[in-house]
Amino acid sequence: MSIRRFDDVTIAVPVSPRLKARLQRAVVQGILKPTGALPTLRRAVIAAAEELRHAGYTDASIGDALERYVEEVVRACALDERSVVSGRPRWEEVRDRVGEWVLTTPTHSV
């Protein structure tokens, strides 16, 4: 199995380089293979949300930033396929789920 390398996509919030790479890979896989990759994407989104909450970001700003990040990854990697079921671009469904996951993830107090 070969690993396809994509250019790094900038994210508007401060996350570690490792988490950024994890998010980018998860977004790409979430769009290319939505059924099998969404749990991995959800875990990456939850990890990023926790890191950003500790940095003082609100859930709304985290959701907006991660949704924009999905759009940037789509543009950088040319992932504009449409869903057979809904007819919408797959990335829109992934973007919407990312926003939902940020808002529904419980916050942990330290």
Residue 98, in any domain of the structure: yes
Q: Model confidence over 80-105: pLDDT tens digits? A: 888 788 888 888 989 999 999 998 87
Residue 40: its pLDDT value, please?
93
Is pLDDT above 60 for 4? no
Q: What is the pTM of this model?
A: 0.82
Please state the domain count of the chain: 1
Which whole number is the average pLDDT over 3-8?
60
Residue 22: its pLDDT value, please?
92
Residue pointed to by tokens 């980018």: 24
Residue 92, in any domain of the structure: yes
Tell me the pLDDT of the chain averaged across its residues. Answer: 85
Buried-state track 14-44, b at ≥16 Cβ within 10 A, e below 16:
ebeeebbebbbbbbbbbbeeeeebbeebbeb
**How many C-beta atoms lie closer than 10 Å to residue 64's C-beta?**
16
Residue 10, in any domain of the structure: no
Residue 5, in any domain of the structure: no
Reading the block at residue 38, the tokens are: 């969404």
Residue 108: its pLDDT value, please?
58
* Selected residue with higher pLDDT from 72 and 11: 72
Is pLDDT above 80 for 68? yes
Q: Which residues pair with 82 in a beta bridge?
A: 89
Residue 110 buriedness (CB in 10 A; 0-12 / 13-18 / 19+)? exposed
Domain boundaries, position 44: 17-104
Residue 82, in any domain of the structure: yes
Phi first, then psi: give them for residue 88, nearest 5 degrees. -80, 155
CA-based R_g, the chain, Å? 13
Residue 7: its pLDDT value, please?
64
